[in-house]
Amino acid sequence: MRTFRLAFTGDYLDEKGQPAYGDHGYVQLAQAPYVEYDFLRDQAPRAGDAAYWQRLYSMEVTPGQIRGLDGLVVLRPAVRRPAIAAAAERLVVIGRSGAGYEKIDAAACTEHDVLLFNAPRGLDHATASTALMFMLVLAKRLAEQQEITRRAQWQRQAEVTGSEIQGRTLGIIGLGHSGRELVRLVAPFEMRVLAYSPHADPAQALALGVQLTTLDELLRESDFVSLHARLTDSVRRLIGAPQLAMMKPTAYLINIARGAMIDQAALVAALRERRIAGAALDVFEVEPLPAGDPLLGLDNVVITPHWSASTSDVWATTGKATAEGVLRVARGEPPANVVNPAVLERSGFQAKLARFAENQAVARPARAE
């Protein structure tokens, strides 16, 4: 049996040094006698360290933290080339607990014979249902209705009359898994659905009842625009002042993808001047959203802390998928959802992976005759 040393990034822990979000595959891992796991505890929050939450999304894994590891599971911190290079002699796999991996240097992983995998499917429904929730909250003007109720201003009912999403036009940017799931969820509302997704299969879109179109046409015609694309250089700041100017003054913008896809200053201006009706944002250009950010003072925006899709159900699903991926590597087998498949053909990676093949006998002991 060959021991597989694994670490989770420290942001999985709470201020007491305990798992903050419940079981994230830890039970599965504990049942494998060839896996030893811990956390990068010097990355964990400390009681009284209020600044920790301001640097939460800017943390990076350091070379010293991962030397001597066979595997690493990442929640929020970045994993850059220097850390990957420093750990390359032993490190064989990095697992991203979720879909996005833009903060992990995939090219450096391949160059240093490290496999990178993610758990993309666990968030499909949760992301789509969050988009639908935001559509309904915006259309019904829930935030404003709640405000007048809390202030006992019932005389203002007429000012916050909402609308229905029934029969409206939905524009989806990125017709991937979560985008297609949103199409399924809105079917009972009989919406017209447009999509801007350059790599989408036209036959698949047709079967879904989705009209593929240009970004400009989508922006001009949609009552709701929902972003579902993966962050790449081609979609960075995809929605700026010119694009916002194309939208209807009655339209709403929803972003549960990545904050960098929107020029946030341009969006603030459009919201403040009521050039669009409103927005719902779970992600931002800078995270956490700084105190005093102008978005916080607007009454036509719904904001959540990059966590709306991270339900307890999703946490369990992605944890299971991530643990299964790690366990496969710890048995000398490639996992599902490999981000950098070119690494599979590299002799250096194959040699590192082969070191753990002996654990297959431990995982699946021979039956007695």
**Residues with catalytic function:** 258, 287, 306
- Alpha-carbon distance of 38 to 15, in angstroms, equals 16
**Which long-range contacts does 57-61 make (Cβ < 8 Å, 24+ apart)?**
57/287, 57/288, 57/306, 59/9, 59/11, 61/9
Neighbouring C-alpha atoms within 13 Å toward the C-beta of 15 = 8
**HEC-encoded secondary structure of 316-335:** HHHHHHHHHHHHHHHCCCCC
Q: Please compute Rg for the chain using Cα positions.
A: 23
Supply the DSSP symbol for 209. Answer: T
The beta strands (E) that lie in the chain are given as 4-8, 35-39, 71-74, 93-96, 115-118, 169-173, 192-196, 210-212, 224-227, 252-255, 278-281, 301-303
Q: Using an 8 Å Cβ cutoff, are 77 and 12 in contact?
A: no
DSSP per-residue letters across 11-34: GGB-TTSSBTTS-SSHHHHHT-TT
Amino acid code (one letter) for 280? A
Could you report how far apart the first and last alpha carbons of the chain are, in Å?
23
Beta bridge partners of 94: 72, 116
Q: Using an 8 Å Cβ cutoff, are 240 and 210 in contact?
A: no
